[in-house]
Chains A and B, each alone.
Chain A
Amino acid sequence: MSFFDVLKISATGLSAQRIRINVISSNLANANTTRTEEGGPYKRKDIVFREILEGELAGGVKVEKVIEDEKPPVLKYEPGHPDANEEGYVAYPNINPIEEMVNMLEASRSYEANVTVLNTAKQLALKALEIGRA
Protein backbone atom coordinates (compact mmCIF):
# COMPACT_ATOMS: atom_id res chain seq x y z
CA MET A 1 0.00 0.00 0.00
CA SER A 2 1.59 3.12 -1.30
CA PHE A 3 0.33 5.59 1.33
CA PHE A 4 1.92 3.77 4.19
CA ASP A 5 5.15 3.72 2.17
CA VAL A 6 4.93 7.50 1.81
CA LEU A 7 4.44 7.86 5.57
CA LYS A 8 7.52 5.70 6.17
CA ILE A 9 9.56 7.61 3.59
CA SER A 10 8.81 11.01 5.09
CA ALA A 11 9.48 9.57 8.55
CA THR A 12 12.98 8.57 7.40
CA GLY A 13 13.45 12.10 6.06
CA LEU A 14 12.28 13.60 9.36
CA SER A 15 14.58 11.47 11.51
CA ALA A 16 17.57 12.05 9.21
CA GLN A 17 17.11 15.83 9.43
CA ARG A 18 16.61 15.63 13.19
CA ILE A 19 19.91 13.74 13.56
CA ARG A 20 21.51 16.43 11.43
CA ILE A 21 20.20 19.16 13.74
CA ASN A 22 21.51 17.15 16.72
CA VAL A 23 24.98 17.09 15.18
CA ILE A 24 24.83 20.80 14.36
CA SER A 25 23.77 21.72 17.89
CA SER A 26 26.60 19.58 19.26
CA ASN A 27 29.03 21.48 16.99
CA LEU A 28 27.72 24.84 18.16
CA ALA A 29 27.73 23.82 21.82
CA ASN A 30 31.33 22.62 21.55
CA ALA A 31 32.59 25.58 19.52
CA ASN A 32 35.08 26.44 22.29
CA THR A 33 35.78 22.98 23.72
CA THR A 34 39.50 22.32 24.10
CA ARG A 35 39.33 19.03 26.00
CA THR A 36 37.88 15.79 24.60
CA GLU A 37 38.22 12.14 25.54
CA GLU A 38 40.58 11.51 22.62
CA GLY A 39 42.60 14.52 23.71
CA GLY A 40 42.97 17.77 21.84
CA PRO A 41 40.19 20.12 20.85
CA TYR A 42 36.70 19.02 19.75
CA LYS A 43 36.48 18.10 16.08
CA ARG A 44 33.57 19.36 14.02
CA LYS A 45 31.13 16.53 13.15
CA ASP A 46 29.25 16.15 9.92
CA ILE A 47 26.85 13.48 8.68
CA VAL A 48 26.53 11.61 5.40
CA PHE A 49 23.08 10.86 4.01
CA ARG A 50 22.38 7.85 1.86
CA GLU A 51 19.33 6.92 -0.21
CA ILE A 52 17.46 3.83 0.95
CA LEU A 53 16.74 1.76 -2.12
CA GLU A 54 13.38 0.14 -2.61
CA GLY A 55 13.38 -3.34 -1.14
CA GLU A 56 15.50 -2.47 1.87
CA LEU A 57 12.53 -0.57 3.24
CA ALA A 58 10.03 1.50 1.34
CA GLY A 59 12.65 3.94 0.07
CA GLY A 60 13.69 7.17 1.69
CA VAL A 61 16.89 8.35 3.30
CA LYS A 62 19.13 7.34 6.15
CA VAL A 63 22.18 8.63 7.94
CA GLU A 64 25.06 6.51 6.69
CA LYS A 65 27.65 7.70 9.18
CA VAL A 66 28.84 10.59 11.30
CA ILE A 67 32.20 11.85 10.08
CA GLU A 68 34.75 14.11 11.74
CA ASP A 69 35.92 17.22 9.97
CA GLU A 70 39.72 17.06 9.75
CA LYS A 71 40.16 20.80 9.44
CA PRO A 72 43.18 21.94 11.51
CA PRO A 73 42.30 23.66 14.79
CA VAL A 74 42.49 27.41 15.17
CA LEU A 75 45.40 28.56 17.33
CA LYS A 76 44.80 31.48 19.68
CA TYR A 77 47.50 33.14 21.76
CA GLU A 78 46.38 32.69 25.38
CA PRO A 79 49.43 32.01 27.56
CA GLY A 80 47.35 31.88 30.75
CA HIS A 81 45.10 29.06 29.53
CA PRO A 82 45.79 25.63 31.11
CA ASP A 83 45.71 23.96 27.66
CA ALA A 84 48.20 26.34 26.07
CA ASN A 85 51.31 24.81 24.44
CA GLU A 86 54.91 25.90 25.08
CA GLU A 87 54.57 28.93 22.83
CA GLY A 88 51.38 29.99 24.59
CA TYR A 89 48.91 29.00 21.86
CA VAL A 90 45.61 27.23 22.59
CA ALA A 91 44.09 24.95 19.91
CA TYR A 92 40.38 25.73 19.49
CA PRO A 93 37.99 23.71 17.29
CA ASN A 94 37.70 25.08 13.76
CA ILE A 95 33.95 25.74 13.89
CA ASN A 96 32.34 28.56 11.97
CA PRO A 97 29.06 29.43 13.74
CA ILE A 98 27.65 31.07 10.61
CA GLU A 99 28.20 27.87 8.60
CA GLU A 100 26.47 25.87 11.33
CA MET A 101 23.52 28.27 11.44
CA VAL A 102 23.11 28.06 7.66
CA ASN A 103 23.17 24.24 7.84
CA MET A 104 20.63 24.38 10.66
CA LEU A 105 18.25 26.53 8.61
CA GLU A 106 18.61 24.16 5.67
CA ALA A 107 17.90 21.15 7.89
CA SER A 108 14.85 22.79 9.42
CA ARG A 109 13.46 23.70 5.97
CA SER A 110 13.97 20.12 4.77
CA TYR A 111 12.26 18.90 7.94
CA GLU A 112 9.27 21.16 7.25
CA ALA A 113 9.06 19.90 3.66
CA ASN A 114 8.92 16.33 4.93
CA VAL A 115 6.18 17.28 7.41
CA THR A 116 4.17 18.72 4.53
CA VAL A 117 4.60 15.50 2.56
CA LEU A 118 3.45 13.48 5.55
CA ASN A 119 0.35 15.64 6.04
CA THR A 120 -0.54 15.45 2.35
CA ALA A 121 -0.23 11.66 2.28
CA LYS A 122 -2.37 11.43 5.41
CA GLN A 123 -5.02 13.67 3.91
CA LEU A 124 -5.05 11.67 0.64
CA ALA A 125 -5.36 8.37 2.50
CA LEU A 126 -8.32 9.70 4.49
CA LYS A 127 -9.88 11.00 1.28
CA ALA A 128 -9.54 7.55 -0.27
CA LEU A 129 -11.44 6.09 2.68
CA GLU A 130 -14.39 8.32 1.80
CA ILE A 131 -14.86 6.64 -1.60
CA GLY A 132 -18.15 4.84 -1.61
CA ARG A 133 -19.30 6.21 1.71
CA ALA A 134 -22.13 8.64 0.75
Chain B
Amino acid sequence: MNIFSATQIDKLGFALDVTSYKNKIIAENIANVDTPFYKAKKLDFNEVMKNAFDNGKKLPLYVTNPKHLMGKNDLISPASFVKYQNNMSVRNDGNDVNLEYEMSEMASNGILFNMLSQITGYEFTRLKSAIQGR
Protein backbone atom coordinates (compact mmCIF):
# COMPACT_ATOMS: atom_id res chain seq x y z
CA MET B 1 0.00 0.00 0.00
CA ASN B 2 1.22 3.43 -0.87
CA ILE B 3 0.99 5.59 2.24
CA PHE B 4 0.92 8.74 0.13
CA SER B 5 -2.11 7.79 -1.94
CA ALA B 6 -3.82 6.36 1.14
CA THR B 7 -4.08 9.89 2.42
CA GLN B 8 -5.41 12.99 0.76
CA ILE B 9 -1.92 14.11 -0.16
CA ASP B 10 -2.10 13.31 -3.87
CA LYS B 11 -5.37 15.22 -4.17
CA LEU B 12 -3.97 18.12 -2.19
CA GLY B 13 -0.90 18.18 -4.40
CA PHE B 14 -3.06 18.31 -7.50
CA ALA B 15 -5.16 21.10 -5.98
CA LEU B 16 -1.95 23.04 -5.24
CA ASP B 17 -0.95 22.57 -8.89
CA VAL B 18 -4.30 23.92 -10.05
CA THR B 19 -4.14 27.00 -7.79
CA SER B 20 -0.59 27.82 -8.84
CA TYR B 21 -1.57 27.44 -12.49
CA LYS B 22 -4.54 29.70 -11.90
CA ASN B 23 -2.19 32.26 -10.36
CA LYS B 24 -0.25 32.18 -13.63
CA ILE B 25 -3.38 32.77 -15.71
CA ILE B 26 -4.28 35.78 -13.52
CA ALA B 27 -0.73 37.14 -13.83
CA GLU B 28 -1.00 36.93 -17.62
CA ASN B 29 -4.30 38.81 -17.58
CA ILE B 30 -2.87 41.56 -15.38
CA ALA B 31 0.32 41.85 -17.44
CA ASN B 32 -1.82 42.28 -20.57
CA VAL B 33 -4.20 44.84 -19.08
CA ASP B 34 -3.14 47.39 -21.73
CA THR B 35 -2.63 45.05 -24.70
CA PRO B 36 -5.03 45.81 -27.57
CA PHE B 37 -7.37 42.94 -28.52
CA TYR B 38 -6.26 40.79 -25.57
CA LYS B 39 -9.04 38.58 -24.23
CA ALA B 40 -9.05 37.71 -20.53
CA LYS B 41 -8.66 34.04 -19.62
CA LYS B 42 -10.02 32.10 -16.67
CA LEU B 43 -9.55 28.78 -14.92
CA ASP B 44 -12.38 27.39 -12.80
CA PHE B 45 -10.85 25.57 -9.82
CA ASN B 46 -14.06 23.66 -9.01
CA GLU B 47 -14.48 22.51 -12.59
CA VAL B 48 -10.93 21.11 -12.78
CA MET B 49 -11.27 19.33 -9.44
CA LYS B 50 -14.64 17.87 -10.42
CA ASN B 51 -13.25 16.51 -13.68
CA ALA B 52 -10.16 15.12 -11.99
CA PHE B 53 -11.81 13.31 -9.06
CA ASP B 54 -15.56 13.00 -9.55
CA ASN B 55 -15.49 9.59 -11.22
CA GLY B 56 -19.16 8.91 -10.68
CA LYS B 57 -20.24 11.46 -13.24
CA LYS B 58 -17.61 10.74 -15.85
CA LEU B 59 -17.91 7.93 -18.37
CA PRO B 60 -15.17 5.38 -17.68
CA LEU B 61 -12.91 4.33 -20.52
CA TYR B 62 -14.35 1.21 -22.18
CA VAL B 63 -11.97 -1.75 -21.94
CA THR B 64 -12.35 -5.37 -23.04
CA ASN B 65 -9.43 -6.69 -21.02
CA PRO B 66 -8.36 -5.79 -17.48
CA LYS B 67 -4.81 -5.35 -18.77
CA HIS B 68 -5.83 -2.52 -21.07
CA LEU B 69 -4.61 0.91 -20.12
CA MET B 70 -7.11 2.96 -18.16
CA GLY B 71 -7.34 6.71 -18.42
CA LYS B 72 -5.44 8.05 -15.46
CA ASN B 73 -7.01 10.94 -13.63
CA ASP B 74 -3.79 12.48 -12.44
CA LEU B 75 -2.77 13.03 -16.06
CA ILE B 76 -5.37 15.80 -16.39
CA SER B 77 -3.61 19.07 -17.03
CA PRO B 78 -5.14 22.27 -15.66
CA ALA B 79 -4.05 23.94 -18.91
CA SER B 80 -6.80 22.15 -20.81
CA PHE B 81 -9.45 23.90 -18.70
CA VAL B 82 -8.38 27.45 -19.50
CA LYS B 83 -11.19 29.37 -21.16
CA TYR B 84 -11.89 32.91 -22.24
CA GLN B 85 -13.88 34.98 -19.78
CA ASN B 86 -15.99 36.49 -22.59
CA ASN B 87 -16.71 39.63 -20.60
CA MET B 88 -19.51 41.75 -21.98
CA SER B 89 -17.72 45.04 -21.39
CA VAL B 90 -15.01 45.25 -24.04
CA ARG B 91 -13.03 48.49 -24.10
CA ASN B 92 -12.42 50.51 -27.25
CA ASP B 93 -9.06 48.82 -27.80
CA GLY B 94 -10.67 45.35 -27.86
CA ASN B 95 -9.31 44.42 -24.43
CA ASP B 96 -11.70 42.96 -21.85
CA VAL B 97 -9.49 42.55 -18.75
CA ASN B 98 -11.27 43.66 -15.58
CA LEU B 99 -8.43 44.65 -13.26
CA GLU B 100 -10.54 44.78 -10.07
CA TYR B 101 -11.92 41.31 -10.76
CA GLU B 102 -8.45 39.91 -11.46
CA MET B 103 -7.02 41.37 -8.24
CA SER B 104 -9.82 39.88 -6.15
CA GLU B 105 -9.44 36.53 -7.93
CA MET B 106 -5.74 36.63 -7.16
CA ALA B 107 -6.40 37.36 -3.47
CA SER B 108 -8.91 34.53 -3.08
CA ASN B 109 -6.72 32.14 -5.06
CA GLY B 110 -3.80 33.01 -2.77
CA ILE B 111 -5.87 32.30 0.33
CA LEU B 112 -6.95 28.97 -1.16
CA PHE B 113 -3.32 28.11 -1.88
CA ASN B 114 -2.29 28.97 1.68
CA MET B 115 -5.10 26.83 3.05
CA LEU B 116 -4.19 23.86 0.85
CA SER B 117 -0.52 24.08 1.71
CA GLN B 118 -1.36 24.20 5.42
CA ILE B 119 -3.60 21.14 5.15
CA THR B 120 -0.85 19.34 3.22
CA GLY B 121 1.55 20.19 6.02
CA TYR B 122 -0.87 18.75 8.61
CA GLU B 123 -1.19 15.54 6.57
CA PHE B 124 2.56 15.08 6.68
CA THR B 125 2.59 15.78 10.41
CA ARG B 126 -0.07 13.12 10.87
CA LEU B 127 1.94 10.62 8.82
CA LYS B 128 5.02 11.44 10.82
CA SER B 129 3.32 10.86 14.15
CA ALA B 130 1.90 7.58 12.84
CA ILE B 131 5.39 6.46 11.81
CA GLN B 132 6.98 7.47 15.09
CA GLY B 133 4.12 6.09 17.15
CA ARG B 134 3.93 9.06 19.47
User: A residues bordering B, Cβ < 8 Å?
Assistant: 2-3, 5-6, 9-10, 12-13, 16-17, 20, 48-51, 58-61, 106-107, 109-110, 113-114, 116-117, 120-121, 123-124, 127-128, 130-134
When the two chains form their complex, are residues B32 and A124 in contact, meaning their CB atoms are under 8 A apart? Answer: no
Evaluate whether A10 and B31 lie within 8 angstroms (CB atoms) in the complex, with A59-B24, A121-B23, A128-B16 already known: yes
Residue numbers in B under 8 Å from A107 (CB-CB):
34
Beta-carbon contacts under 8 Å, B91-129 to A: 99, 102-103, 106-107, 110, 113-114, 117, 120-121, 124-125
Is B34 within 8 A of A110, CB to CB?
yes
Interface size range of chain B in the complex: 20 to 34
The CA of A32 and the CA of B102, in the complex, are separated in Å by: 39
* Cross-chain contact B30 with A117 (CB below 8 angstroms): yes
Consensus secondary structure, chain B interface: helix
Q: Is the interface of A mostly helix, strand, loop or mixed?
A: helix
- Report which of B23, B31, B102 forms a contact with A61, defined as CB distance below 8 A: B31
**Using Cβ atoms and an 8 Å threshold, which residues of chain A touch B23?**
2-3, 6, 120-121, 124
What 1/0 flags go to B29-40 for Cβ under 8 Å of A?
Answer: 011111110100
B29 to chain A, nearest CB (A): 9
Q: Which residues of B (1-50) have their CB < 8 Å from a CB of A?
A: 16-17, 20-21, 23-24, 26-28, 30-36, 38
Q: Would you list which residues of chain B between 64 and 112 have a CB under 8 Å from chain A?
A: 99, 102-103, 106-107, 110
Shortest Cβ distance from residue A14 to the other chain B in the assembled complex, whole angstroms: 8
Q: Which residues of B contact A (CB under 8 A)?
A: 16-17, 20-21, 23-24, 26-28, 30-36, 38, 99, 102-103, 106-107, 110, 113-114, 117, 120-121, 124-125
The answer to whether A6 and B113 have CB atoms under 8 Å apart is no
22 CB-based A-B contacts, threshold 8 Å: A9-B31, A12-B31, A13-B27, A13-B30, A20-B34, A48-B36, A49-B35, A51-B28, A51-B38, A109-B99, A110-B33, A110-B34, A113-B33, A113-B99, A117-B31, A117-B106, A124-B20, A124-B110, A124-B113, A128-B16, A128-B20, A130-B121
